C-alpha cells in the first residue's frame, strides 16, 4: 500500500521541523523532511509533490536537476519569487501558493502602521520611555489618500480595510480596470509616477518580479509628497534601499514602515534601524497566531484535490 502513496517532500529552513498540522496526511502520503541542501538533494528524486515552507530558499534551484517525477510545487507563502527561477518558470510543473491566508492579518497590520504614523505612536512611546509628558496634535487618517501598489488579494484587503476607515484608496494593477468595493480606482502600472504625487500613504503589496524589482528608487521618491509615508509589506527588493535612506534623510518623504528588506534579517548596523521616522519590523505583518496551522490546512485541502484529480486552488501565473 505504501508504495502507491505519493511522496511529499517538505522543504523547510534548518531547525524548523515539521509544519504543524501535516500529520493528518500520514496515511495518505509518504512525507519526507528536507531541512538542509543535502536532504533536499537526496529526497527530491522521489518527490511527487514539493511543499516549500521557506520563502527565501535557494536550495531548490541548486537541486533542480534532481527532480525527476515532480508534478506539483506548493509554496506556503504569498510571494513565490524565490522559487520562480528560470528552469522552474519554463517547466510545466504547476506552482500554487498560500493566497488568502495572510491577507486579512496584513491589512490590519498596514492599518495599524498608518494609524501609528498619524497619531505619532513611536513619538509617544519614546517620550514615555523618558517619562516625558509631551502633548502633540496629531493627524486624522479619514480623508487621507492611500495608493496600494499591487491589486492582488493582499492589496485588495488593505484597500477594503482602509476604505472602511474613511480613507480614499486607489490601486495599481498590471492593467487599468474599473474601481470596485476595494479600490475607488484601479490604474495600470504605467501610471505609477503620475499617481505618486497625490498619495499620503504608498503601500507596496506587489509580488517581486522583473517589473517590480527596484521600482521604488530616487525617481519614484522624487514624485512623492514631503509628508508622505511608504509602507512595504511586499518584498524588500521592490525598494532600492539606498535611495530610500537618502529620501528619508533629506526629508524627501516623511516616513517609512518596512516589514521586508533586500537582505533579511536586516543587518544590525543598517542605518534604517536608527531612523526615528522609520518603523522596522521583522517580516511578520501576516503572521497571525495560528498561521502555520492555517498553511498546513490549506495545503492538505489542495492535496486532497490533487489526489482526486480536481483542479488545484491558488495556481500561480508564472512570469513570461
Cα(98)–Cα(162) distance, integer angstroms: 23
For a copy of itself, which is the closer residue by CB, 86 or 282? 282
Q: Which of 191, 215, 193 is nearest to 204 (CA)?
A: 215
Instruction: Pick the stretch among 14-22, 77-85, 140-148, 241-249 that binds a copy of itself (CB under 8 A).
Output: 140-148
108 binds a copy of itself (CB under 8 A): yes
Shortest distance, CB of residue 127 to a copy of itself, whole angstroms? 8
119 binds a copy of itself (CB under 8 A): yes
17 binds a copy of itself (CB under 8 A): no
Grid cell digits, residue 12: 523547510
The 10 Å CB-count burial string (b at 16+, else e) for 121-158 is ebeeeeeeeeeeeeeeeeeebeebbbbbbbbbbbbbbb
Instruction: Pick the stretch among 184-192, 203-211, 232-240, 258-266 that binds a copy of itself (CB under 8 A).
Output: 258-266
Question: In the stretch 269-298, what mask flags binding to a copy of itself with x, by CB under 8 A?
Answer: xx--xx----xxxxxx--xxxxx-------
Cα(93)–Cα(70) distance, integer angstroms: 7
Instruction: Pick the stretch among 10-18, 63-71, 109-117, 302-310 that binds a copy of itself (CB under 8 A).
Output: 109-117
Q: What are phi and psi of 272, to 5 degrees?
A: -60, -35
Grid cell digits, residue 297: 490546512
Task: Give catalytic status of residue 264 as yes or no.
Answer: yes
Cα(83)–Cα(62) distance, integer angstroms: 11
Count of beta carbons in the 10 Å neighbourhood of residue 36: 14
Chain centre to alpha carbon of residue 212: 13
317 binds a copy of itself (CB under 8 A): no
Q: Which of 99, 157, 229, 235 is catalytic?
A: 235
For a copy of itself, which is the closer residue by CB, 144 or 187? 144
Respond yes or no on whether the N-terminal peptide bond of residue 182 is cis (omega within 30° of 0): no
Q: Among 56, 65, 134, 175, which residue interacts with a copy of itself (rule: CB under 8 A)? A: 134
39 binds a copy of itself (CB under 8 A): no
What contacts 199, CB < 8 A, 6 or more positions away?
145, 146, 147, 224, 225, 228
Residues lying near a copy of itself in the complex (CB under 8 A) are found at 104-105, 108-109, 111-112, 115-116, 118-119, 121-122, 124-125, 127-128, 131, 133-142, 161, 164-166, 264-266, 268-270, 273-274, 279-284, 287-291
Question: Which residues are tagged catalytic?
Answer: 235, 264, 283
Amino acid at each position: 500500500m505504501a508504495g502507491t502513496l505519493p511522496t511529499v517532500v517538505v522543504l523547510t529552513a534548518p531547525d524548523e521541523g515539521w509544519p504543524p498540522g501535516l500529520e493528518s496526511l500520514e496515511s495518505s502520503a509518504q512525507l519526507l523532511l528536507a531541512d538542509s541542501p543535502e536532504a533536499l538533494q537526496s529526497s527530491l528524486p522521489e518527490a511527487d509533490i514539493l511543499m516549500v515552507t521557506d520563502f527565501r530558499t535557494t536550495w531548490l534551484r541548486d537541486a533542480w536537476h534532481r527532480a525527476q517525477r515532480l508534478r506539483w510545487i506548493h509554496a506556503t507563502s504569498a510571494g513565490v519569487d524565490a522559487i520562480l527561477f528560470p528552469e522552474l518558470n519554463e517547466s510545466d510543473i504547476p506552482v500554487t501558493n498560500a493566497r488568502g491566508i495572510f491577507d486579512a492579518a496584513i491589512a490590519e497590520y498596514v492599518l495599524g502602521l498608518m494609524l501609528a504614523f498619524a497619531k505619532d505612536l513611536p513619538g509617544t512611546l519614546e517620550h514615555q520611555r523618558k517619562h516625558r509628558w509631551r502633548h502633540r496634535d496629531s493627524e486624522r487618517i479619514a480623508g487621507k489618500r492611500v495608493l496600494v501598489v499591487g491589486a492582488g488579494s493582499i492589496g485588495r484587503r488593505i484597500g477594503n480595510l482602509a476604505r472602511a476607515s474613511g480613507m480614499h484608496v486607489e490601486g495599481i494593477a498590471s492593467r487599468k480596470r474599473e474601481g470596485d468595493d476595494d479600490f475607488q480606482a484601479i490604474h495600470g502600472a504605467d501610471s505609477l509616477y503620475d499617481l505618486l504625487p497625490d498619495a499620503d500613504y504608498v503601500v507596496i503589496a506587489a509580488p517581486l518580479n522583473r517589473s517590480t524589482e527596484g521600482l521604488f528608487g530616487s525617481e519614484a521618491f522624487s514624485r512623492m509628497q514631503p509628508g508622505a509615508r511608504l509602507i512595504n509589506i511586499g518584498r524588500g527588493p521592490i525598494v532600492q534601499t539606498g535611495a530610500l535612506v537618502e529620501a528619508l534623510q533629506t526629508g524627501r518623504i516623511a516616513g517609512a514602515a518596512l516589514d521586508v528588506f533586500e537582505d533579511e534579517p536586516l543587518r544590525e548596523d543598517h542605518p534604517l534601524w536608527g531612523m526615528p521616522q522609520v518603523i522596522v519590523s521583522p517580516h511578520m505583518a501576516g503572521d497571525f497566531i495560528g498561521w502555520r496551522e492555517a498553511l498546513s490546512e490549506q495545503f492538505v485541502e489542495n492535496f486532497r484535490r490533487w489526489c482526486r484529480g480536481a483542479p488545484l486552488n491558488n495556481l500561480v501565473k508564472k512570469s513570461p
